[in-house]
Amino acid sequence: MRVLMVGDIVGKTGRRMVVQHVRALREAEGIDFVVANGENAAGGNGLTHDVMDELLSAGIDVITSGNHIFDKKEVFQFIDDVPQLLRPINLPSGTPGHGYVVRSCQGVPVAVVNVSGRAFMPFQYDDPFRAIDHVLESLSGEVTVVLVDFHAETTSEKAAFAWYLDGRVTAVVGTHTHVPTADERILPQGTAFLTDLGMTGPMDSVIGVKTDLVVQRMLTQRPVRFETAVGRGQFGALLIDIDDGTGKALAIKRFLIRE
């Protein structure tokens, strides 16, 4: 099967890019399954039910997230009931929502797992290595295609996590830094890896936020209220061709669409 994994969707511009490109790419590229990170989809922070509906209607099969998942309080009302909306698996036990899901794609079960890194993150997470081991154990024997969104800050934690999982999952793609990296590769045991998908959002910005506000914050070192930028969009994604039988990545292609 052919899967597309899409980076953090940021605000109105990010959603517009999703609407314009996801269905078109599905058709043009023969994509069977789409995963996208939605943690910044509603005005830059979190997501609402309406925004989630918009994303799912636009051709996204599973929405992953990260540290911003609970920024909009209304998410607590529906996150337990929407299996295709994920939050990291390594949040404290008792956290609402689900950290992974198994969906069927043309009769083949596909697992999507959302994990968070720990280094320099604004919250404290449980050990991502043990957490994914535990999930993989529970999936074992049933699911071969496993797609991992690893939401983390540092390149070292992302690379270590991917190598740790090489041969055990189909893909490890990073999110959170909002900048696409150019290091896509298939690791020796068949796991596709990309340090960061990059955001799907407004190009003329500092990782999605209005440039002037971020510069002002850094120049003054005083509190500045951030606002999400709008305008020309970018769309960051990785296309993965998968051997349905073994779950290995056969080929990958990185996308960076810019307006």
Site residues, Fe ion (CB under 5 A): 8, 39-40, 66-67, 176
Question: Could you tell which of Fe ion, its own copies, none binds residue 66, using a CB distance below 5 to 8 A set by kind?
Answer: Fe ion
CA atoms within 13 A on the CB side of 114: 29
**Per-residue x/- marks for its own copies, 69-88, CB under 8 A?**
-xx-----------------
Tell me whether residue 68 or residue 248 sits nearer to Fe ion (CB atom): 68
Residue among 92, 107, 141, 245 that touches its own copies (CB under 8 A): 92
Report the nearest approach of its own copies to the CB of residue 105 (Å): 27
Tell me whether residue 13 or residue 40 sits nearer to Fe ion (CB atom): 40
Annotated binding site for Fe cation: 8, 39-40, 67, 151, 176, 178
**Per-residue x/- marks for its own copies, 196-225, CB under 8 A?**
x-x----xxxxx-x-x--xx--xxxxxx--
What Å distances lie between residue 1 and 5, 119, 150, 166, 188, CA to CA? 13, 33, 21, 19, 20
Question: Could you tell which of its own copies, Fe ion, none binds residue 107, using a CB distance below 5 to 8 A set by kind?
Answer: none
CB 196 within 8 Å of CB 180: yes
What Å distances lie between residue 98 and 85, 157, 183, 188, 202, CA to CA? 7, 23, 30, 30, 29
Active site residue 68: yes
Q: How far does Cα 40 stand from its chain's mean position?
A: 11
Report the nearest approach of Fe ion to the CB of residue 141 (Å): 33
The pair of structure tokens assigned to 149 is: 């969104």
Residue 137 region by backbone torsions, left for phi larger than 0, else alpha for psi between -120 and 50, else beta: alpha
The pair of structure tokens assigned to 233 is: 């969009």
Question: Could you tell which of its own copies, Fe ion, none binds residue 24, using a CB distance below 5 to 8 A set by kind?
Answer: none
- The DSSP 8-state label assigned to residue 206 in this structure reads B
